[in-house]
Chains A and B, each alone.
Chain A
Amino acid sequence: MDRRQFIKATALTGSSLTLASCGNPEYHLIRFVPEDRMTPGVSVWKPGICPLCSAGCGLTVRVMEGEAEVIRNNQRGVTKMGLAKKLEGNPVHPINQGKLCARGQAGIQVTYHPDRIGHPLKRAGARGAGQFQEVSWDEALSEFISRLDALAEANDQKSLAFLTRPQKGLRGQLIREFAARFGAGPPISPEFFSEDVLRRANALSFGKEQLPSFDFAESRYLMAFGADFLGSWNSPVSQSIAYGQMRQGRPGVRGKFVQIESRMSQTGANADEWVAIKPGFDGLLALGLAHVIMKAGLRRPEVAGRAGSLIEGWSTGLEGYAPEEVEKQTGVAAARIERLARELAQRPPSLALIGGSPLAHTNGLFSALAVNALNALMGSVNRPGGMFFTPQVNLTPFRAGAAESEPPRSFEKIAADILLADRSPIQILLMDSANPVFSTPRAWKVREALMKVPFIASFGNFLDETSVLSDLILPDHSFLESWVEGTPEAGSRLAVASVAPPVMRPLHETRAMPDVLLEASRRLKRPLNPAFPWQNFQEMLRAAFETLPAPQPGTSAGTVWDAVQKQGGWWGEAPRGSQASARSQTAPTASVAFVAPQFDGDASEYPFHFLPYASQAFYDGSLAHLPWLQELPDPLSSAMWSSWVEINPQTAARLQIRQGDLVEIASRQGAIRVAAFVSPGIAPDVVAMPVGQGHETYTRYASARGENPIQILAPMVEPETGSLAWAATRVRISKAGNNDGRLILFAGSLTEYRPEDDHR
């Protein structure tokens, strides 16, 4: 065969094979009649809401006709339907203004994940063994409802508990009301990166129990204590947009940005000046700066008002916080403190903010109060270029809710109570996308406690460390298949209440969790008191949104409900009288003074501070199941698909640890082994590790990959709020083995750029 014949032959067979195999699987599957009527090849953009973190960015979702394998009437087949193809930021949404972060972009994979639970499941093996059998919705719902009925018959409604992520929207309200009307306590919302400390501080300093928003765009000087506000903290997309304005949006004016932290974050890498500080001393430094400003007469103490009066010695100019004293404990040179303080005061409008690890110490509340006082001293509260609070709209369909706003219960205490009691005080546990087995320290013994709960039902659509303990799984739709809503806490000057209808039909035999709750509430033997008036979640949302005035002029086509669905939510000035009141106008407490942070582990035996931090890709680990995010190189280390611990080069040299070597990190609570990443952006006595990997059970992509730093954390808490002080653990490190290739880097190391090298 000569060349010409060969090419002819391959072209012929190749093309016929390709054509024959084109759409081949459909010959083996049933074809269902399409449920959507769409013009093929033409895309439609529909509004949505990103559920992956609490920022609540608006989405616009590209939907096109496509073919999907679905189950209809218990048969597997293919059908043509509108499929979500791409997520982008909603251009009219006030939070993210058309932008979307990498995590949000990857959110599309939640819907099409190969390990999504597509059917109700019932436990078939031992609890936790991960053996389940598929059951019908009829069977699953009957079991679910009969369990609730049995509890009501025994007059034991108190022992129903709901475990959720903190949810501010109507879904959260429905869960709270369901629990309260059934007779159970408020939902439990354990969250690893809890912001309760900052909320409490803001309630004390400013009377608003809420996360702050920032007007970076107008600011000329920004000082951030530990907050990774461009990466993962608070409302990162809205903050990144405003930060861009601050740095490049005003001709001739480029705001200066100083980041103060113990481990260089992605945000810190953007700073003009990076200040290393000893972990837990951020509040002390803030007061040192305030001392200099007041002493030099640049601001008078009384302008700080209530926020200042909370700090002991404020009115007399913070005598004990002279730069020389502060230097001894923080490790920041006195001359530098002087200079930074003067810059802060002389370049208004200036702004200080705190978030992340400084608040995860035993003195976190003090640090937050100190930075609040510093901000108040600068006159940066509710002023252009300063901090403010996003107005909250009181969106609710309940005229008078049955749920009382009880203080949330700490999961540590609940787990301890279950373990101590003969009969578990929780008889039925319902879980809605929370994973406390992964995200609480081993020392809290959450898994052991949950093993003692007689019946657990989960609404999650993935098997994770917690839902694998369930007896019954009633899988929810993905966020693209269901009604979604949310009221963002921060990130906008306008009050925002987002809402969006489903962008596509469900791919699997799943049901929206709020609809399941509403259906169950109708079928209970002893009805809820009072019963819910809505048949489904959509009706409940409509009832809530119709209490709002028409959105801004220009958008007020049709009724409020139609208009908000079309643009993806309601936003505007908070209607008078509907502004949600801050939950507790906490009365000013006695003034506070600096207290040194407490650490678990003796400094001589455990010489290093252990600093977990939010992963850019996985946040708190809840996104580790998305392969795009596994594949996303970390912005600083460029590591992917792996775990690593960041070690200072001097420390590494002393311990003879090289890049990629296996390192054992041991705390009093346990030990883990991870690859070393030698980084100049970390203090010699600190080691840092991203949270997110180390799942035992979490789909094919995340299971048994890397290590979970939360496992070895000490159960230290911030005493006022009970929040986990996740930065208060000390560790020792030692080399445990040579580089075995488990550290996967996209690029090289952080070796300094040498001008003599020719990089072009």
Chain B
Amino acid sequence: MIHTPDLGLDCDYCHSGVNRGAVAGIPSINICMGCHEQVVTGDPRITQLADYAKKGQDLHWQRVYGFLEESHVRFNHAPHVQAGVECSACHGDLTSMTVAERVVDHTMGFCVDCHKSRQASIDCLTCHY
């Protein structure tokens, strides 16, 4: 994937809420077009993107990660990012994917292991409330 390894864009260039809010945020087409008005305009996928933007429409992003409603997990990105947890720790190495895939299983064991090793709270109410 070009954006991160080749151009050196940080994840939070597009997922701009990740160090401030609970959710990372999905970029709107405006973010894409900020660059692609000028850059790589000839690529058919980019032309498609530009067509959408012209019509005032956004992209249909597909959700890859997420917790089930019934698990009652209230995940908040900001404290994790601020504690220096790499994005790849939970999302895998997205820089090597062209289409995002689910490569890390977000089980409770996965979360608790990391919380224990970093001496973060493992109180139930930290995540489930």
Contacts and interface: CB of A to CB of B under 8 A. Distances in A.
A18 B68 contact: yes
Contact of A32 (B22, B25, B58, B76): B58
B68 A42 contact: no
Given A18-B68, A39-B25, A40-B25, A33 B57 contact: yes
B28 A34 contact: yes
B56 interface: yes
A748 interface: no
B103 interface: no
Contacts of A42: 17, 20-22
B17 A31 contact: no
A77 interface: yes
B16 interface: yes
Interface in A22-72: 22-23, 26-27, 30-34, 39-42, 72
B23 interface: yes
Contact of A33 (B17, B21, B53, B69): B53
A20 to B, nearest CB: 10
A31 B57 contact: yes
Contacts of A79: 58
B3 interface: no
Contacts of A508: none
A32 B66 contact: no
A34 B58 contact: yes
A730 B59 CA distance: 66
B29 interface: yes
Contacts of B17: 39-42
A19 B70 CA distance: 12
B27 to A, nearest CB: 10
Contact of B56 (A22, A23, A32, A41): A32
Contacts of A263: none
A22 B63 contact: yes
DSSP majority for the A interface?
mixed
Interface in B12-69: 16-17, 20-25, 28-30, 53, 56-60, 63, 66, 68-69
Contacts of B28: 33-34, 80
A40 B60 contact: no
A15 interface: yes
Nearest to A22: B63
Contact of A39 (B20, B57, B76): B20
Given A33-B28, A79-B58, A41 B23 contact: yes
B108 to A, nearest CB: 14
Nearest to B24: A40
A77 B22 CA distance: 25
A552 interface: no
A7 to B, nearest CB: 14
Query: Size class of B's contact patch?
Result: 20 to 34
Interface centre among A26, A34, A39 (most CB of B within 10 A): A39
Nearest to A26: B60
Interface string A724-759: 000000000000000000000000000000000000
A493 to B, nearest CB: 40
A73 interface: yes
Contacts of A32: 56-58
A355 to B, nearest CB: 45
B58 A40 contact: no
Interface in A349-372: none
Given A39-B17, A39-B21, A19 B57 contact: no
B23 A72 contact: no
Contact of B66 (A22, A34, A41): A22
A19 B63 contact: yes
A18 B71 CA distance: 12
Interface string A470-491: 0000000000000000000000
Contacts of B63: 19, 22-23
A33 B49 CA distance: 12
A33 B32 CA distance: 11
A583 B108 CA distance: 70
Given A15-B68, A22-B63, A39-B16, A31 B58 contact: yes
A14 B70 CA distance: 11
A73 B17 CA distance: 29
A42 B22 CA distance: 7
A27 B63 CA distance: 12
B23 A40 contact: yes
Contacts of B23: 40-41
Contact of A31 (B21, B30, B60, B68): B60
A14 B69 CA distance: 11
Given A18-B68, A19-B63, A33-B29, A41 B57 contact: no
Interface in A69-122: 72-73, 77, 79-80
B58 A41 contact: no
B35 to A, nearest CB: 16
Interface string A582-621: 0000000000000000000000000000000000000000
Contacts of B53: 33
B21 A41 contact: yes
Contacts of A33: 28-30, 53, 56-58
Contacts of B16: 39
14 contacts: A14-B68, A15-B68, A18-B69, A19-B66, A32-B56, A32-B57, A33-B29, A33-B53, A33-B57, A34-B28, A40-B17, A42-B21, A42-B22, A77-B57
Interface of A: 14-15, 18-19, 22-23, 26-27, 30-34, 39-42, 72-73, 77, 79-80
Given A33-B56, A72-B56, 20 more contacts: A18-B69, A19-B66, A22-B63, A22-B66, A23-B63, A31-B59, A31-B60, A32-B57, A32-B58, A33-B53, A34-B28, A34-B30, A34-B58, A40-B22, A40-B25, A41-B17, A41-B76, A42-B17, A42-B22, A80-B28
